[in-house]
């Protein structure tokens, strides 16, 4: 089967893909296709269905500026509500007609002769003049490669691929990890299981979750007075910006948030042994600061044990910790994070002269402005390298990139430009800038081992080490001078999709 497609292919139907597709349509640009390996819009909020899954940024901010939702149920909405919001936005923005689901990308290859990308998926081949990987950086679960895991006879799954068919009631369960997912999973399942053993490599900083359930009157207020919702959103945005000096390790700012975390620990825990176990040994902010009111209480339940040691391996029926002690369990839930520093999709992208993205990125991912990579023309990333945040809403970064990429697409298409490739010197300058800004921040000097740093080079590749508004200032719009431009058009004007 062969069908005509359009000039632009967007891969990924999460927040990033929706933002870009909406922006394109709002600019009157319809010649794009959007594909995703899942079965609907929603990305990470479609996939992470684990019990207790909620947002860590206030929902009135963690949502699109162009589609405010006055009816958020509470400060930090849950997974289902956020997923519903995203599918609602996709419907309202008319994106379903542009979308094709169940398309897992297997390869993306640049063809210099006709200046097109060929993207092969599990069921089809797409050709497009411009490709955007809106695949996110927290999309592929990471399960540690530990000895004996294959021999373990119990049940195992990752929090991002929760097995809802598996009945946890009355089971002896292990949770591996104490990061953002674990601190939501553990309180949510603690009362259902017979025993719960939580393995901790390093203790996270936890602060109170100021979670307010909005009354009907408040929702109606936000509906009737959109300015009130915008004013609240503005406040939240700039309040988050004000936290950035914490990440720069400015003492006055660090002390303030450290005091909040310490007071929270001491208010919720009396047992000095547990208090010692949950007290972090690095500077606050080096890893993600977590928000929870029920994490510490859950750890104090009689049938819950916190093992302050990493997992060393598995036997047929047990998890073995770093000291060699075995813990018999029926089920292991990996809350072990995602392939963040090395984007899995990089292995599947081949640019000029067959150059593979993961080889170019062998010492860590690098992209000009987090969007473009030299040697990979007509390709843009969204929510890829360099743009993760330690204090703020990623949606702001995503919308900034959506505007930038939509601007680029229009520039290329309207001027019938065949090829744009970021100038390598601009990319190098940008990478230097990131390294300079990262120096002295808590991410590089905070004394922790976090996924923010590339394990191969020790460089900060996943985080935007500056205020969010600085990113908007520098990358709020596409600047053609940053790119090598070849004027002749690509030949995908009547591009094709070949289903095999």
Partner 1 sequence: MTEETIVLIPGTETPADVAFAGLKPLLERDHRVVLFDYTSESQRDLDAVLEGYHEQLRVAIAELGRPVHLFGYSLGAHIALRYAATESSRVLSLALAGGWLRTDELQRSRHELWLDLYDQEPRLAGRLSHLLQYSPRYRRYLAEQQTAARLTPATPDEEIRRRVEINRLLDSSRHAADIEVPTLLIAGTADAKVSIEAAYELFGTISTAAFAPMDAGHALLKERLGQVYGCYADFLRGRYKAGQYIKSFLP
Query: Which residues make up the interface to partner 1 (CB under 8 A)?
Result: 58, 61, 65, 75, 207, 210, 212, 230-245, 248, 250, 252-253, 256-257, 260, 289, 291, 393, 396, 436-437, 467-470, 472-473, 476
Q: Residue 230 or residue 279: which is nearer to partner 1 going by CB?
A: 230
DSSP string, 77-90: -BHHHHHHHHHHHH
Q: Residue 248 or residue 360: which is nearer to partner 1 going by CB?
A: 248
Rounded to whole angstroms, how far apart are CA atoms 47 and 36?
12
Beta strands in 348-471 (DSSP E): 349-350, 379-381, 419-422
Nearest to 373 by CA among 388, 355, 389, 400: 355
Shortest approach of partner 1 to residue 209 CB, angstroms? 9
Q: Residue 4 or residue 473: which is nearer to partner 1 going by CB?
A: 473
Do 331 and 324 form a contact (C-beta atoms < 8 A)?
no
Q: Residue 103 or residue 401: which is nearer to partner 1 going by CB?
A: 401
Q: Residue 436 or residue 458: which is nearer to partner 1 going by CB?
A: 436
* Other residues' Cβ atoms within 10 Å of the Cβ of residue 80: 12
Shortest approach of partner 1 to residue 237 CB, angstroms? 4
Shortest approach of partner 1 to residue 202 CB, angstroms? 21
Nearest to 380 by CA among 47, 79, 117, 44: 117
Shortest approach of partner 1 to residue 429 CB, angstroms? 15
* Cα 349 to Cα 12, 111, 137, 377, 455, distances in angstroms: 15, 12, 16, 12, 21
Do 156 and 144 form a contact (C-beta atoms < 8 A)?
no
Rounded to whole angstroms, how far apart are CA atoms 402 and 381?
10
Shortest approach of partner 1 to residue 430 CB, angstroms? 16
Q: Residue 166 or residue 238: which is nearer to partner 1 going by CB?
A: 238
Q: Residue 160 or residue 236: which is nearer to partner 1 going by CB?
A: 236
Nearest to 295 by CA among 334, 319, 267, 325: 267
Rounded to whole angstroms, how far apart are CA atoms 312 and 324?
7
Element (H, E) at 247: helix 244-247
Shortest approach of partner 1 to residue 468 CB, angstroms? 8
- Matching residue, tokens 């009396």: 270
b/e sequence 254-270, b meaning 16+ C-beta within 10 Å: beebbebbeebbeebbe
Q: Residue 39 or residue 210: which is nearer to partner 1 going by CB?
A: 210
Specify the 3-state DSSP secondary structure of 195.
strand
Shortest approach of partner 1 to residue 19 CB, angstroms? 14
Q: Residue 81 or residue 466: which is nearer to partner 1 going by CB?
A: 466
Shortest approach of partner 1 to residue 98 CB, angstroms? 26
Shortest approach of partner 1 to residue 426 CB, angstroms? 17
């Amino acid at each position: 089967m062969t069908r005509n497609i359009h000039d632009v292919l967007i891969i990924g139907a999460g927040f990033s893909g929706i933002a870009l597709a909406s922006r394109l349509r709002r600019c009157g640009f319809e010649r794009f296709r959007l594909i995703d390996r899942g079965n609907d819009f929603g990305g990470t909020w479609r996939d992470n269905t684990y019990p207790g899954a909620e947002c860590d940024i206030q929902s009135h901010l963690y949502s699109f500026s162009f589609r405010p939702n006055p009816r958020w149920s509470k400060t930090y909405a849950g997974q289902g509500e956020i997923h519903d919001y995203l599918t609602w936005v996709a419907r309202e923005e008319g994106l379903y007609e542009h979308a094709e689901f169940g398309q897992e990308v297997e390869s993306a290859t640049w063809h210099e002769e006709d200046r097109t990308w060929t993207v092969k998926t599990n069921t089809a081949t797409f050709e497009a003049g411009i490709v955007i990987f809106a695949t996110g950086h927290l999309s592929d679960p990471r399960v540690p490669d530990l000895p004996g895991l294959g021999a373990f006879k119990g049940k195992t799954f990752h929090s991002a691929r929760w097995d809802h068919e598996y009945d946890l009631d009355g089971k002896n369960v292990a949770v591996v990890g104490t990061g953002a997912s674990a601190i939501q999973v553990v309180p949510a399942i603690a009362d259902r299981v017979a025993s719960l053993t939580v393995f901790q490599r390093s203790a996270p900083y936890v602060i109170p979750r100021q979670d307010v359930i909005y009354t009907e009157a408040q929702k109606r207020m936000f509906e009737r007075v959109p300015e009130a919702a915008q004013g609240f959103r503005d406040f939240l945005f700039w309040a988050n910006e004000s936290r950035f000096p914490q990440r720069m390790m400015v003492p006055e700012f660090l002390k303030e948030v450290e005091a909040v975390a310490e007071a929270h620990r001491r208010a919720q825990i009396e047992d000095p042994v547990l208090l010692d176990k949950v007290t972090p040994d690095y500077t606050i902010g080096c890893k993600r600061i977590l928000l929870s009111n029920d994490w510490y209480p859950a750890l104090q339940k009689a049938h819950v044990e916190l093992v302050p040691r990493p997992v060393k391996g598995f036997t047929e029926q047990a998890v073995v910790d770093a000291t060699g002690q075995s813990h018999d369990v029926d089920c292991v839930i990996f809350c072990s994070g995602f392939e963040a520093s090395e984007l899995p999709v990089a292995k599947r992208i081949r640019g000029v002269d067959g150059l593979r993205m993961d080889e170019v990125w062998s010492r860590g991912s690098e992209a000009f402005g987090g969007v473009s990579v030299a040697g990979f023309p007509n390709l843009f990333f969204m929510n890829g390298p360099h743009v993760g945040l330690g204090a703020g809403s990623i949606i702001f970064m995503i919308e900034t990139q959506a505007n930038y990429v939509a601007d680029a697409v229009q520039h290329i298409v309207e001027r019938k430009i065949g090829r744009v490739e970021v100038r390598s010197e601009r990319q190098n300058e940008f990478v230097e800038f990131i390294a300079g800004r990262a120096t002295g921040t808590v991410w590089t000097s905070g004394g922790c081992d976090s996924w923010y740093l590339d394990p191969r080079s020790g460089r900060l590749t996943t985080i935007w080490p500056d205020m969010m508004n600085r990113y908007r200032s520098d990358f709020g719009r596409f600047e053609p001078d940053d790119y090598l431009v070849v004027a002749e058009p690509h030949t995908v004007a009547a591009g094709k999709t070949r289903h095999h």
